[in-house]
Amino acid sequence: MAEPPTKDPHLALRVVTMPRETNPYGTIFGGVVLSYIDQAGFVEARRHGDFDWVTASIQRVDFRAPVGVGDILSLRTTTTRLGRTSIDVTVEVYAERCRTHDTVHVTSATLTMVAIRDGVPTPFQTQGN
């Protein structure tokens, strides 16, 4: 059974950024952060059922702050919509700075995740149905 939409975010993923993920400017590639957002969306979706969850869309992503090597990224997720075969997941990304331990908001995104079984979108049950 799927869990209902939540108000409180869940910690879906924490990662330490590494030198191999940097661009020529010494900061983490935006695509690396997008990959983490996609993974966090999947972690949240799995809370709603044992399906092959796939990303149908990601809304606009604006990077507000750079991410440096050694920063710890925390990705917090909230389910904001339950549909028949899909859910919307909001992902908030924060970076704990390696040297100062200050925490900054890096970006956020909303993903639409679709439940798939045998290659087709699949309805899932919500609690109380």
pLDDT digits (tens, 9 = 90+) for 26-75: 999 999 999 999 999 999 999 999 999 999 999 999 999 999 999 999 99
Q: Is residue 79 part of a domain?
A: yes
Q: Is residue 126 part of a domain?
A: no
CATH number at residue 114: 3.10.129.10
Q: Is residue 128 part of a domain?
A: no
Could you tell me the residue range of the domain that residue 15 belongs to?
10-121
**What percent of the chain has a predicted confidence (pLDDT) above 90?**
89
Q: Token digits for 1?
A: 């059974």
Reduce the DSSP state of residue 104 to 3 states and report it.
strand
> Tokens 């919307």 label which residue?
88
pLDDT greater at residue 118 or residue 4: 118
Q: Is residue 34 part of a domain?
A: yes
CA 13, 7, 46, 106: dihedral to nearest 10 degrees?
A: -30
Q: Is residue 106 part of a domain?
A: yes
Q: What is the pLDDT of residue 128?
A: 41
Q: What is the pLDDT of residue 7?
A: 75
Alpha helices in 47-122 (DSSP H): none
Q: What is the DSSP letter of 42?
A: H
Mean pLDDT value across the chain: 93
pLDDT greater at residue 79 or residue 125: 79
Number of domains in the chain: 1
Q: Is residue 127 part of a domain?
A: no
In the predicted model, is pLDDT for residue 6 greater than 60?
A: yes
